[in-house]
Amino acid sequence: MTAQEALKVALRNVLGPNARSHGYKGSAPTWRKSNASGDWAVVNVQSSSWSTAERLRCVVNLAVAPEPWLRWQRERLGAGMPKSVTEYLGLYRERLHPAEAPAGTDGWWEVRDAESAVSAATDIVAQLEHAWWPVLDRLLTPGGMLQQVGNGDLGYMKRPNHGVFFARAGALLRMDQGPSDALEADLQTALDFCMPEEKENAEQFDAWVREQARRGAS
């Protein structure tokens, strides 16, 4: 049995049932969950491209993509928009590492055989149960993602280093409620602090969001 086969079996037998118990659908390496608003949460087990049949390294990617964010991605990407929501389309993105990995390091699970594959899958489930299923569920609840943006935490991205991105995220999550002072503040921040080479894109974003807001108010 190759390392890839061992991981696939372990994910099917260990992570799959756990994900389904929390309302996720799919099969290794990706499970998804959506709500009535069209928001999506994604759990993806990524294998390293440098893996071999004898040794495989993997990590877990988590993502949540709210419907307004996906709507903007479709506008931006056009025909290049994937048919299924992938983890890299998430507005919120985070990564899980082995429990024994030092904090702040990009540790990956190593799979060599069935035993190490089950150990990796078991650790993944333990971490999801302990902390991450509740986080993903909270971000799928009404207002959950907007609160997360307000907290300045989108997983990899933190507001101190990505102010314009957070302003845009806030605008997208508010636009369907119609024009407001908060929406105006987000849009103004996104325009005022964008890089000069991004000005045209920022103006296109601004116009699109304002149009969505007008529709939301009608």
pLDDT of residue 162: 96
Res. 217: pLDDT tops 80: no
Q: What is the pLDDT of residues 18-67, one digit of tens each?
A: 999 999 999 999 999 999 999 999 999 999 999 999 999 999 999 999 99
Q: What is the pLDDT of residues 155-170, one digit of tens each?
A: 999 999 999 999 999 9
Query: Is the bond preceding 29 in cis, omega lying within 30 degrees of 0?
Result: yes
* In the chain, domain spans: 3-141, 162-217
Distances (CA, A) of 53 to 59, 60, 66, 111, 183: 17, 20, 37, 10, 51
**First and final CA of the chain: distance in angstroms?**
60
Does residue 154 or residue 218 have the better pLDDT?
Answer: 154
Q: What is the pLDDT of residues 54-113, one digit of tens each?
A: 999 999 999 999 999 999 999 999 988 999 999 999 999 999 999 999 988 899 999 999
